Chain A
């Protein structure tokens, strides 16, 4: 798709007649993209609905519990619409989704939209902090390892990057809590904010860092940052593995190329070759890798959220799944799904930008 857009633009001339064409040709690919976006979300909703209904969880039984009487159970089934044929159930959900809200969660009793507005920013905040840390350190490690291939530095860099990923994240989180919170007191305990601030700072955006900053309360921002630090570091450990390994591999692959041998023959230093020639060439791949890691952080932060009592969308979706809470499952999956599609589209655009004009 980005390629079509570029070729269209390239064909434009500067005539005034063509300017109006230019505006229109922006709309057409955009609307095509929106259409495919909607289709993707619909497909996702359909698959999610089907899988949830196939799973052995009975939402009515989950809701009323095992001690409830048969009449209570049957009443719950009716209220949840479980007696209706599947296609009818599905279209009811689509209807509520299209009307703007995602319905009411069975397990929290609150509108799903409200739940998501609370939990999604928490996850985004955590994942973003983690990916920034992870990308910076990961790139550095990868480049170092590639430039010093075969030496102990390479081995060490590879071990460090692997360590954070191979160690269970649960484990890593708990041990870091033990060390940095319980023993050293460098960071506060699990949670997003101190009890004192939790109920005095108004939630405007849902992002703790932003809300505490705007509130102007002394120490609030520092507290939010301190609470964010440890889980972000734990997740970053995870993210940097893929980034550093794939950076290293990509650089090494390029180092075997003809243009590098040529540059070497001309007397360029390794440093110059890597930073001026290679990195721009592989920037597309690097961006894709970083974006993939970001996506996996958005989706897979459940374990970290559990250990650090971070009320994010990962945990929300997981508890919803165990409860068979269809509105919540659909709502959360669609929101996460939409952000993935957006992320992938932005990545594709970025890759197209970065690789436009580069030749091998």
Chain B
């Protein structure tokens, strides 16, 4: 049972009306003006946009806060106005001046340049998980105050020192960390110079369609319509319920006690496809699954012949068609389909004989064993067992060791692993997010995926930095294609799959939208 906050009193009126008009039977349908979502919210750490960086939190930021600019819902590559009505790039190519639209926060306060400055500078100074995104612009705690300035009551100017163009800067500003918070509401709540972080962990102060009515960790997040928003939602309230068990989630949505269910497995979705009253929405996502090899672990793993052979020992079709059934498609480059410049060639297929030949030609003797650490979760365990089976046909024994996520990540960072299965979700909607992870490692100083693979690539690093500098969109795309081809051909990464997010909806739900990137979940237009 949750404790009622004063803001939730309005919410209780909503439900009391529902109570009054329908004698709640044991088999109750969800109230007509409330959207009930069944998923896991155990990952949520904080609802402060400067801190939250988990799926649950970034998806909610989309609905609670607005940014200066946002990605178009249908085509993520297009950037459109949000809190900023128009913008102008500076002549030096390193600044942008935004003209703010008339918008109001949930509190009724207008959105002013002071709020923009507050939001962005606090995000950099707090230096929490997603801060690295803003660091891409060269913003650091000591220079960010000077970088973001108020021009007049309606204009704010952003400058940056990093060697990047304004197109890139705009992409960065569409990321959830660049959400604009209501400075006049948040500042009074600040304690010990935390810029209101402690309060914003469980409360909201945004201009988006919804506000946080109550948040009970591990139980539910209740969102309530924001009357002052320029983006008025159709439904009065959204309740995101924590239902940790996947089977229970499925039962809830089947019975109509939940309108949306997320995170169901491929087999369950297969079984639900023909049920009446519910529909399955398959949304392409930017998430990719890949094998990460530690080239420093031993000479075999550092041998490019092994890298190449591994590409032919993955049962791409078997995994996507039989095991994962529509939850993934084959994709073998580091930019996912939907990103400009994505390479959609898939030259590799399961070919054990070819792999054996490559190994022999490369001087690698079989049989040998590799320690394969895997997240103890689906779909990783399934994929891992499939790989075990196909690699075995070439004489390579994969010793699967399931483990806890943070332990596996720690080992990855420390370079204490041989082979692992990972996933990557872009942090912001720009090719550089992925490129900087896989194609940058000058000297093992920055923590990129290439570094975790022990792969030092000064030339590729330079190419990648050149690509992010490039202002012309078409040229940029070509540069990234080039990079992808090189990495696809030879690297200690084996890209295998790009995901499809399968969401189960009750037939009553209309206008549900979800985009390519992880945070792009939109509840404001949903109707029942």
Contacts and interface: CB of A to CB of B under 8 A. Distances in A.
Interface of A: 56-58, 61-72, 75, 105, 107-110, 115, 118-119, 174, 177-178, 181-182, 185-203, 206, 208, 211, 217, 219, 223, 226, 306-309, 311, 315-316, 319, 322-324
13 contacts: A56-B406, A56-B410, A66-B409, A109-B46, A109-B217, A182-B251, A187-B26, A189-B255, A191-B241, A196-B28, A208-B1, A306-B244, A307-B245
Contact of A110 (B27, B202, B220, B413): B202
Which 5 A-B pairs give the minimum distances between C-beta atoms?
Answer: A203-B1, A108-B217, A109-B201, A69-B132, A62-B406
Contacts of A219: 23-24
B219 to A, nearest CB: 5
Contact of B135 (A62, A69, A193, A203): A69
Nearest to A191: B241
A188 B26 CA distance: 5
Contacts of B413: 61, 66
Nearest to A110: B217
Interface residues of B, number: 66
Given A109-B46, A309-B244, A315 B129 contact: no
B218 A319 contact: yes
B371 to A, nearest CB: 15
Contacts of A194: 24, 28
B28 A188 contact: yes
Given A70-B447, A109-B45, A324 B406 contact: yes
B404 A181 contact: no
B370 to A, nearest CB: 21
Contact of B406 (A57, A118, A178, A195): A57
A66 to B, nearest CB: 5
Contacts of A109: 45-46, 198, 201-202, 217
Interface of B: 1-4, 8, 11-12, 15-16, 18-19, 23-24, 26-28, 30-31, 34, 36, 42, 45-46, 53-54, 127-132, 135, 198, 201-202, 214, 216-220, 222, 239, 241-245, 247-248, 251-252, 254-255, 257, 404-407, 409-410, 412-413, 427, 446-447
B511 to A, nearest CB: 21
Contacts of A316: 218
Given A57-B407, A182-B251, A307-B245, A67 B53 contact: yes
A201 B45 CA distance: 27
A206 B1 CA distance: 7
B218 A311 contact: yes
Contacts of A315: 218, 244
Contacts, number: 176
B27 A199 contact: no
Nearest to A308: B248
Contact of A115 (B3, B53, B217): B217
A65 B410 CA distance: 10
B255 A182 contact: yes
A203 B252 CA distance: 25
A199 B245 contact: no
A56 B404 contact: yes
Contacts of A70: 446-447
B248 A75 contact: no
B218 A189 contact: no
A188 B252 CA distance: 10
Given A56-B407, A67-B129, A201 B31 contact: no
Contact of B251 (A178, A223, A311): A178
Nearest to A311: B219
A194 B409 CA distance: 39
A71 B244 contact: no
Contacts of B247: 174, 177, 307
A56 B403 CA distance: 10
A74 to B, nearest CB: 10
A250 to B, nearest CB: 37
Given A193-B1, A324-B406, A200 B26 contact: no
Contacts of A108: 217-218
A226 B31 CA distance: 19
